[in-house]
């Protein structure tokens, strides 16, 4: 839910982090340009083009994080910022720009003295996933801004996954996999499987089965306060938890994992455009089919 305007002039910022990812080297020149621009305005700047520094620690006192690249860069940045409340500006140099709404020109105008009047702070709920292997020690929690996916590799077989909600048995899924997504992630993989689009102000997440083998297994929307447990039963091959499409945790029969809301939201700076404008522009949501005029 958008709660406040972000109208801080660039010249008023004291500490800024400019980050990207090693997977997008074409963004690194703009990282250097932006870092130099903020320094010229008197800010203390941490420059992290490879996207490998521990941001939650280093950016705890920052006034602004600028993530340059695209939606994938923003997903990575959000996970690295869990535990902080620093506003983050996503600059899109990629294709979709669904999350990273701002352009390089927007950033340059901001550095040149343009004070934004429509930018909003838009907190985004994140997920925390805690994997408890049947054999071995529990792993440190992982975090997702989009989704946590139970995914198979080349060898695909029916997977049995038991689900409980707040300690009460809810269902057993027999499917090719599962997608557990936030409102942000509801327009990603979950949507392609027939899951609903969630309003961005909701505190909720959706569980969507992939190719379920039971007609009554349908996507379910759960309260954001819920603690949802899963257990993998039956033999499995090449099964893993995939976090935001960027991190992979191996799963074996008998393993358990728990999903709940992360302890902090991701504080994204939105452009001020309507969510429905973005859906129509980026996903062609509600648009009429394009017909070939030449076909008559």
Q: Quick one: which H or E segment has residue 95?
A: none
Q: How confident is the model at residue 290 (pLDDT cuts 50, 70, 90)?
A: low
What does the pLDDT read at residue 291?
Answer: 58
Give residue-wise pLDDT tens across range 79-111.
999 999 999 999 999 776 788 999 999 999 999
Q: Using the predicted structure, report yes or no on whether residue 49 has a pLDDT greater than 50.
A: yes
The C-alpha angle 186, 231, 166, rounded to 5 degrees, equals 70
Q: Check: CB of residue 271 under 8 Å from CB of residue 98.
A: no
Question: Distance between CA 145 and CA 58 in Å, rounded?
Answer: 20
* DSSP state letter for 153: -
Query: What value does the mean pLDDT of the chain take?
Result: 91
Q: For 197, phi and psi rounded to 5 degrees?
A: -85, 125
The percent of residues above 90 in pLDDT, for the chain, comes to 76
pLDDT band at 150 (very low <50, low <70, confident <90, very high): very high
For 173-229, how does the pLDDT look when each residue is reduced to its tens digit (9 = 90+)? 999 999 999 999 999 999 999 999 999 889 999 999 998 988 788 999 999 999 999
Q: Do the bridges between strand 88-92 and strand 64-69 make them parallel or antiparallel, or are there none, so unpaired?
A: parallel
Q: 3-state class of 69 per DSSP?
A: strand
Q: Give the span between the Cα atoms of 262 and 230, in whole angstroms.
A: 17
Beta-carbon contacts of 291 under 8 Å, excluding residues fewer than 6 positions away, are none
Q: Which is higher by pLDDT, 235 or 198?
A: 198
Token pair listed for 10: 């660039």
Q: What is the torsion angle, in degrees rounded to the nearest 10, for the CA atoms of residue 51, residue 55, residue 61 and residue 65?
A: 40
Residues 6 or more apart from 67 whose CB is under 8 A from it? 19, 20, 73, 74, 77, 88, 89, 90, 91, 100
Q: What is the pLDDT of residues 259-268, one digit of tens each?
A: 999 999 999 9
pTM of the model: 0.90
- The active-site residue out of 48, 63, 71, 293 is 71
Q: Which H/E stretch holds residue 296?
A: none
Residue with tokens 């420059």: 47
Q: Which two tokens stand for residue 160?
A: 């049995």
Q: What is the mean pLDDT of residues 236-263?
A: 94
Say whether 71 is catalytic. yes
Task: Give the number of other CB atoms < 10 A from CB of residue 146.
Answer: 28
Q: State the pLDDT at residue 293.
A: 52
């Amino acid at each position: 839910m958008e709660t406040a305007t972000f109208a801080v002039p660039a010249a008023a910022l004291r500490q800024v982090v400019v980050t990207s990812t090693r997977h997008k080297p074409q963004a690194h020149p703009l990282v250097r340009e932006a870092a130099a621009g903020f320094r010229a305005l008197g800010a203390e700047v941490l420059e992290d083009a490879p996207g490998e520094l521990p941001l939650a620690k280093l950016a705890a006192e920052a006034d602004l994080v600028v993530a340059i690249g695209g939606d994938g860069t923003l997903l990575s940045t959000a996970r690295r910022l869990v535990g902080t409340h620093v506003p983050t500006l996503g600059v899109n140099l990629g294709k979709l720009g669904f999350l990273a709404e701002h352009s390089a020109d927007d950033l340059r105008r901001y550095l040149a003295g343009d004070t934004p009047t429509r930018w909003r702070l838009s907190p985004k709920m994140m997920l925390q996933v805690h994997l408890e292997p049947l054999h071995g020690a529990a792993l440190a929690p992982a975090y997702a801004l989009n989704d946590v996916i139970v995914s198979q590799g080349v060898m695909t077989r029916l997977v049995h996954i038991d689900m409980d909600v707040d300690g009460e048995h809810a269902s057993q899924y027999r499917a090719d996999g599962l997608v557990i997504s936030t409102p942000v992630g509801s327009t990603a993989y979950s949507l392609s499987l027939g899951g609903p689009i969630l309003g961005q102000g909701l505190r909720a997440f959706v569980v969507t089965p992939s190719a379920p083998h039971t007609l009554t297994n349908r996507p379910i929307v759960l309260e954001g306060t819920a603690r949802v447990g899963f257990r993998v039963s039956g033999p499995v091959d090449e099964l893993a938890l995939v976090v935001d499409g960027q991190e992979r945790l191996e799963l074996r029969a008998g393993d358990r994992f728990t999903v709940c809301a992360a302890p902090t939201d991701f504080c994204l700076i939105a452009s001020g455009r309507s969510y429905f404008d973005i859906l129509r522009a980026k996903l062609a949501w509600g648009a009429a089919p394009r017909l070939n005029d030449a076909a008559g």
